[in-house]
Amino acid sequence: MKKQTILLALIILFSFIVRIVISFHSDYFADDDSYSNLRLIEMMRDKTNLITYDPLSYGGRDVITPQLFHGIMAILAFIPFSLKLFPEIFISTLPLIIYFISLELTKDENSSLITAFISSFIPIVFSSTVNHLSVYSLALPLMLLMFYSLLKIKDKKFLILFIILSFIFPLVHASSFLFILSLLLYIVILVSESMSLSGIRKEAIIFSFFSMFLINFILFRKVFLQYGSSFVRQNIPDTAFNYYFFNFSLSDSLVIIGVIPLVFGILGIYYGLSGKRKKDVLLLGSPILATFVLLLLKNIDVKVGILFLGLFLTLMTPLSIRRLLDYFKLTKWSKYYTHFVVVFLIIIAVFGIVPSLYYYQNDLEEKYNVDDLEFLKEINDSEIVVLSAFNEGNIVSYFSGKKNFADSNFILAPNPVQRLGDTEVVYKTFSKSKALEIMKRGNVRYVLLSEKTKETYDIDKILYIDDVSCFEHERETIYKIVC
Amino acid sequence: MMFPALNMKEKQSTKLYVNKIAVVLLAMIVLGTPITLRGIDNINGVEPYFNQRLSDIFERDKLPDIDPLSFASRPFVYPLGTPFLLHMLEKLLPGNIALNILPFLLGVLTISLLFSILKKFGFNDKLVIIANTVFVFSPPFIYNFSVFNSFTIPIFLNVLAIFLFMTDKRMFRTISTILFLTIPFFGYIHVIFSLIFLFLYGLKKIKRVNLLIFTMTLLTGLVYFSQLSSGLFFGSADERDILLRVISEFGGNFGISIFSILTLVFGLRHLWKSKYKYKDYYVSLTVLLLLFLFNQKSGIYFMLCISPILSMGIIEINQTKWESGIIKYLTIILLISGLVFSGLSFLSKIPQLPPNKDMINSLEFLRDRTNPGDIIFSHQNNGILINSIARRPNIIDLNSAYAPNVKERLKDSKTLFYTRDFEIAKSVIEKYNIKYVYITPDMKNGLVWNEPEEGLLFVLEFSGNNFKKVYNNNEVEVWRVNFLQ
């Protein structure tokens, strides 16, 4: 077996083991979105059908989301620990795909291997997917596989793969819109640069555009009808947008994208655009531009934007890494080449693994008392609503089995702007009557005050909650409304 | 061979004839589906009610100067061609038959005539068949020939006039001229389409056609602009984003499909191979596009004009040499699926158009239990129905052209819808002397409100005796304003 193959296998294995260790270290998934997906998977498993209505989210609402990932997980649910295991397997294929893309771009195995290593610990990708039941675990590898197939589209195997993925990808995740937008920008850049796009790649782009658009149109028809051109924004209210934006400072963003992907990625674009494979670099660079456009227009939330930026900047790194390695060979220290590579790998590991682990948070273990939430499950009334911050609504519904007042799935949610506003008022106001009016209107019977709630609204306590004639302190983090 | 061989021309002619019958049958199925779903006696959409109300006015000796119901009184400035013809037809046909059957018949006839017109323009058989099929599945065609509206008759008249004009017989030309001269009575948009045809085709064929053009323009001027007074509104009370109105997938009833737009790119690319040879066509297409953006109802004319180009687009994709045969055929299949799916998806919307039985009952309640001059407040989408079924004045409706103070009324409506302050609500109610508030389920489900006690709903519920719910059936509610009775 070739040395590179063994090294690549070790990289993938190492990243997989780290992921599995972290994932199995906790009984819970790390974030709120995982529990949204988990509920959907469990509903699919029980009903053996697609889910169009969620009785707990926002007190009951229509669900419109691609459900292939959930379907696959529901089918695999009979395997023990499958919900923890399979997302990690899916996302662990990322270094492999990135290795092949890098190899295609640079034809250099060493820089491709280093890129594969970088990609296994991109902080934002790692912290957003490890111990998460996230659709991105499957969507990101699929998206990269589509780009790789497009690079090698002249090969019939990849042509067929591309055709199949053009149908599958939109059924997995709405980021197929980002893929479409990237291809559009790619064409625009080629035209503006007077570069021709011809042959099978052009045909494949036209085809994928039609297939993805048709499938998305069928899936999101109701969303199109309701939001029109604003569907891209996913109905995310400004309150939620601002929360996501303010939680990311510029310095945080730079670290979480990854210092190595950022520096070497930008240099890679520069070198790539002046190299022989300009068209391929433009193709792989177009998602970066598309993400920037969407971020600037505030059309995707900042975390998702940074996720894609981190990933696609990593794809550009082999171009500059190869240059660096080639350059080093020309210097008078070339005899220390191996040492240099080892030091470089250590630097990558430090800047990759450390922030990856640092930014990984297990909200469930750190910010919730799950027993409190499970206590609510014992209450028989299924119509009661539990108030929480919007970014913990899915956790509340999953563990309590009760309706939430608001959560982070805003598409087709009933008036999320008002609900988020009302939630903030309840937590921050000093007026008991104002809060009670909102809670009565929303049929809220219990209020959650977790560490996450406190962090979201920057509060220590609810100011009026000590009024025992109206509020009973049922559990450590749960208050019951009794008046 | 058992039979004498047909010559090539006869064979092609027979094939086209068979295909023509197939497309006409397809049109019959498409247009017949909404009738089958809703039943021959029921009417979908608000526009048939509007036209019926106007047609009833012809019972009187003299046309009024003022419409006392729309916008609680406005100048009576409407294109009267459609209501007049409807009035005449309803003397012959009973009840709702004319409103249901006429669009179907005119739609089928329009498709039949289009075949001949496109052939006379010199397009080949394949292009003609694809263009007609694409047109049949287009949302503007489905809407205009499923729901009787002010465009149903004039579109057909325009197509018929063009067809007759293109024949060489003198008598047909005379009939065509008469038809063209009736067009101004149906609205200026139809005149623009007629004029585009006469400029592009008529002027080349007959020199004296400029007299017809001049007369049509003069008539349009006489019919409309003599009735205008200052300060009238030319915009639309439909407040949705322009993209929502021009794209059918985003909910535009008169809009065109995104797949049509994508196919149009290929069609125009094909046409552009001849560079400026078709410059007249580009100009007319631009005019119709601008007209469409200004008034979405004219989407049918834009669609009529681009159908051959869409057909060229599909043929272009099919005829171009692709490196991958699989991708080529899959792309064509996806493209056609997209065009058909957007048509079918739109078709499924037709039976859901208001009013439903509950709305009709509630509006009949208003007609029977309120005084004739009592002003009813509701969303602008319900305005025409309040006029037509309840026979009561509204504050605002979608017929906003030439209506008074539309922007102010829209603003005041919003204030009233979203305030939770009784005093603010009271001031708006007193300003317009509103006697009843009419609420439909779609208003509570996103059209206006999303929450059970949002805005005006809260005021109505918790303002003591100031409002009283006098009707409630399946979430259709009528609230009486007690302090103004």
Residue B10: predicted pLDDT: 65
B16 pLDDT exceeds 80?
no
pLDDT of B230 reads: 38
pLDDT of B138 reads: 93
Confidence of residue B291 (pLDDT cuts 50, 70, 90): confident
Same domain assignment for residues A115 and A229: yes
A225 and A359 share a domain?
yes
Report yes or no: A411 at the B interface, CB cutoff 8 Å: no
Q: Which of B152-156, B221-225, B335-339 has the lowest mean pLDDT?
A: B221-225
SS (H, E, C) B363-425: HHHHHHHCCCCCEEECCHHHHHHHHHCCCCCECCCCCCCCCCCHHHHHHHHHHHHHCCCHHHH
What residues of chain B have any CB closer than 8 angstroms to a CB in chain A? 240-241, 243-244, 247, 249-251, 258-259, 262, 322-324, 326-328, 330-331, 334-335, 337-338, 341-342, 345, 446, 449-454
Q: Is A204 on the interface with B (CB under 8 A)?
A: yes
Of residues B243, B262, B345, nearest to A228 (C-beta): B243
From the first residue on, what is the mean pLDDT of each consecutive set of 10 residues in chain A (483 residues)? Answer: 88 94 92 94 92 91 93 93 94 96 92 94 93 95 96 92 96 93 93 84 92 90 75 76 70 82 93 87 94 85 90 94 91 89 92 88 83 87 89 93 91 84 90 89 90 90 86 88 87
Tokens of B150: 């002010």
User: Pairing between strand A444-448 and A385-387?
Assistant: parallel
Looking at the fold, whether A219 and A83 belong to one and the same domain comes out as yes
* A362 Cβ contact partners less than 8 Å away, ≥ 6 residues apart: A26, A28, A30, A131
Cα of B375 to nearest chain A Cα, Å: 30
The answer to whether B254 and B140 are in contact (CB under 8 A) is yes
Please judge whether B326 and A229 are an interchain contact, meaning their C-beta atoms are less than 8 angstroms apart. no
Question: Considering only CB atoms, which chain A residues are within 8 Å of B452?
Answer: 441
Most A CBs within 10 A among B243, B336, B450, B462, hence the mutation to make, goes to B450
- Work out the minimum CA distance from B102 to partner chain A, whole angstroms: 29
Examine the domain organization and report whether A68 and A207 are in the same domain.
yes
Contact A199 B323 (CB under 8 A): yes
Q: Do both A357 and A460 map to the same domain?
A: no
Q: Which residue of B has its CA nearest to A59?
A: B451
| Domain coverage including residue A185 | 3-30+64-235+334-363
Task: List the single residue in A159, A214, A221 with the smallest CB-CB distance to B324.
Answer: A159
Whether residue A221 and residue B331 make contact (CB cut-off 8 A), yes or no, is no
Question: How far apart are alpha carbons B85 and B79 in whole angstroms?
Answer: 12
Q: Pick from B244, B449, B453: which is nearest to A228 by CB?
A: B244
Residue A228: the pLDDT is 67
Instruction: Please give the structure tokens belonging to residue A149.
Output: 């197939």
Contact (CB, 8 A) for B237 and B410: yes
- Token look-up 């058992």 returns B2
For B20, residues 6+ apart whose C-beta sits below 8 A from its C-beta are B112, B115, B129, B132
Quick one: B400 exposed, middle or buried, by C-beta within 10 A (0-12, 13-18, 19+)? buried
Which of A189-198, B230-239, B407-416 has the weakest average pLDDT?
B230-239
C-beta of residue B437 within 8 angstroms of C-beta of residue B380: no
| Cβ–Cβ below 8 Å for A203 and B324 | yes
Whether A340 and A444 share a structural domain: no
CB contact under 8 A, B327 and A207: yes
Using a CB–CB cutoff of 8 Å, tell me whether A226 touches chain B.
yes
Pair (A346, A461) in one structural domain: no
Cβ–Cβ gap B322/A203 under 8 Å? yes
**For residue B474, what are the CA distances in angstroms to B356, B358, B477?**
11, 7, 8
Element (H, E) at B468: strand B467-473
Most A CBs within 10 A among B241, B261, B327, hence the mutation to make, goes to B327
pLDDT at residue B405 in the model: 86
Q: What are the chain B neighbours of A218 within 8 Å (beta carbons)?
A: 341
CB A104 within 8 A of CB A150: no
- Determine the pLDDT at residue B240: 64
CATH 3.40.50.2300 fits B357-484, yes or no: no
Residues of B in contact with A204 (CB under 8 A): 324, 327
Whether omega before B354 lies within 30 degrees of 0, making that bond cis, reads: no
Q: Which of B249, B258, B323 sits opposite A203 (nearest CB)?
A: B323
- Specify whether A390 is located in the same domain as A445: yes
Three-state SS for chain A is CCHHHHHHHHHHHHHHHHHHHHHHHCCCCCCHHHHHHHHHHHHHHHHCCCCCEECCHHHCEECCCCCHHHHHHHHHCCCCCHHHHHHHHHHHCHHHHHHHHHHHHHCCHHHHHHHHHHHHCCHHHHHHHCCCCCCHHHHHHHHHHHHHHHHCCCCHHHHHHHHHHHHHHHHHCCCHHHHHHHHHHHHHHHHHCCCCCCHHHHHHHHHHHHHHHHHHHHHCHHHHHHHHHHHHHCCCCHHHHHHHHHCCCHHHHHHHHCHHHHHHHHHHHHHHHCCCCHHHHHHHHHHHHHHHHHHHCCCCCHHHHHHHHHHHHHHHHHHHHHHHHHHHHHCCCHHHHHHHHHHHHHHHHHHHHHHHHHHCCCHHHHHCCHHHHHHHHCCCCCCCEEECCHHHHHHHHHHHCCEECCCCCCCCCCCHHHHHHHHHHHHHCCCHHHHHHHHHHCCEEEEECCHHHHHHHCCCCCCCCCCCCCEEEEECCEEEECC
Residues of A whose CB is below 8 A from B257: none
Q: Which sign does the torsion angle of CA B194, B195, B201, B207 carry?
A: positive
User: Is the CB of A155 inside 8 Å of chain B's CB atoms?
Assistant: no
Contact A257, A295 (CB under 8 A): no
Give the Cα separation of A295 and A274 in Å (integer). Answer: 27
CATH of the domain at A406: 3.40.50.12610
pLDDT in tens, B161-195: 999 988 878 889 889 888 988 888 888 889 889 88
- B341, B348 contact by CB (below 8 A): no
Point out the domain boundary residue: A326, A346, A363. A363
Beta bridge partners, A473, equal: A479
The pLDDT value recorded for residue B92 is: 84
A415 contact residues in B (CB cutoff 8 A): 449-451, 454
- Helices (H) and strands (E) in chain B — how many of each? 22, 6
B249, A159: Cβ pair inside 8 Å? Answer: no
Residues A102 and A197 placed together within one structural domain of the fold: yes
Number of neighbours of residue B423 by Cβ within 10 angstroms: 8
- Phi and psi at B59, nearest 5°, equal -65, -30
The rounded distance, in Å, linking the Cα atoms of A30 and A361 is 7
pLDDT at residue B347 tops 50: yes
Indicate if A123 and A15 belong to the same structural domain. yes
**CA dist A31 → A26, A134, A365, A387 (Å):** 12, 9, 10, 18
Residues of A in contact with B449 (CB under 8 A): 415
**What is the spatial distance between Cα A473 and Cα A51, in angstroms, rounded to a whole number?**
36
> Is the CB of A80 inside 8 Å of chain B's CB atoms?
no
On whether any CB of chain B is under 8 Å from the CB of A425, the answer is no
- Residue B234: is its pLDDT beyond 60? no
A302 belongs to a structural domain: no
Q: Using the beta-carbon criterion (under 8 Å), do A229 and B249 form an inter-chain contact? A: no
**Alpha carbon A229 to chain centroid, angstroms:** 23
Structure tokens at B36: 């089958």
CB contact (8 A) between residue B258 and residue A217: yes
Q: How far is CA A375 from CA A183, A347, A372, A476, B438, in A?
A: 50, 47, 5, 11, 45
| Bridge partners, A481 (sequence order) | A471
Contact assignment for A204 to B446 by CB distance below 8 Å: no
C-alpha distance from B324 to closest chain A C-alpha (Å): 6
- All residues of chain B having their beta carbon less than 8 Å from the beta carbon of residue A423 are none
Residue B80: DSSP 8-state: -
The DSSP code for B141 is: H
A81 touches chain B (CB under 8 A): no
Task: With respect to residue A451, please indicate whether it lies within any of the assigned structural domains.
Answer: yes
Confidence of residue B233 (pLDDT cuts 50, 70, 90): very low
Chain A interface disruption, residue of B245, B334, B342, B448, most A CBs within 10 A: B334
Supply φ then ψ for residue B56, to 5 degrees: -65, -25
pLDDT at res. A414: 81
Q: How far apart are CA A350 and CA B177, in angstroms?
A: 84
- Counting one residue from chain A and one from chain B, the pairs whose CB atoms sit within 8 A come to 80
Residue of higher predicted confidence among B359 and B296: B359
Q: Among B323, B338, B449, whose Cβ lies nearest the Cβ of A210?
A: B338
Give the model's confidence band at B2: pLDDT under 50 very low, under 70 low, under 90 confident, else very high: very low
Residue A184 lies in a domain: yes
Which residue intervals of B39-124 are DSSP H helices? 47-57, 81-92, 97-120
Q: Which of A200, A224, A414 sits opposite B249 (nearest CB)?
A: A224
Confidence of residue B474 (pLDDT cuts 50, 70, 90): confident
Q: Which tokens sit at B324? A: 């991958």
Please tell me the distance from the alpha carbon of residue A404 to that of residue A32, in angstroms, as a whole number: 13
* Cross-chain residue pair B330–A211, CB shorter than 8 Å: yes
Compute the distance between CA of residue A119 and CA of residue A126 in angstroms, rounded to an integer: 9
Tell which of B323, B340, B458 to mutate to test the A interface (max A CBs under 10 Å): B323
Distance in Å, alpha carbon of B379 to nearest chain A alpha carbon: 17
pLDDT bin (cut points 50, 70, 90) of residue B229 is very low
State percent of chain B over pLDDT 70. Answer: 90
Establish if A229 touches chain B: CB-CB under 8 angstroms: yes
Give the span between the Cα atoms of A282 and A191, in whole angstroms: 12
Q: Under an 8 A CB cutoff, do B249 and A199 touch?
A: no
Domains held by chain A: number: 2
Residues from chain A that touch B258, judged by Cβ atoms under 8 A, are: 213, 217
User: Å from B445 to nearest chain A CA?
Assistant: 9
Of B72, B151, B64, B53, the C-alpha closest to B403 is B72
Shared-domain flag, residues A392 and A461: yes
| ipTM for the complex shown | 0.77
Residue B231: pLDDT band by 50, 70, 90 thresholds? very low
Task: Judge whether A292 lies within some domain.
Answer: no
CA nearest to B238, candidates B387, B392, B402, B410: B410
Q: Return d(Cα A208, Cα A389) in angstroms, integer.
A: 39
Position A98 in a domain: yes
Give the distance, in angstroms, between the CA of residue A313 and the centroid of all CA atoms in the same chain.
16
Tokens of A46: 């029980």
Domain map (residue ranges) of chain B: 357-484
Which one of A203, A214, A226 has the shortest CB-CB distance to B334? A214
Q: What average pLDDT does the segment B405-428 reach? A: 93
Which of A203, A224, A441 shows the shortest C-beta gap to B250?
A224
Whether A218 has its CB under 8 Å from any CB of chain B: the answer is yes
Cα distance from A446 to chain B (closest Cα, Å)?
20
Handedness of CA A194, B322, A287, A212 (dihedral sign): positive
| Higher pLDDT pick, B242 / B155 | B155
Taking the alpha carbons at both ends of chain A, their separation in whole angstroms is 73
Question: For the purposes of burial, counting CB atoms within 10 Å of the CB of A56, is it exposed (0-12), middle (13-18) or buried (19 or more)?
Answer: buried
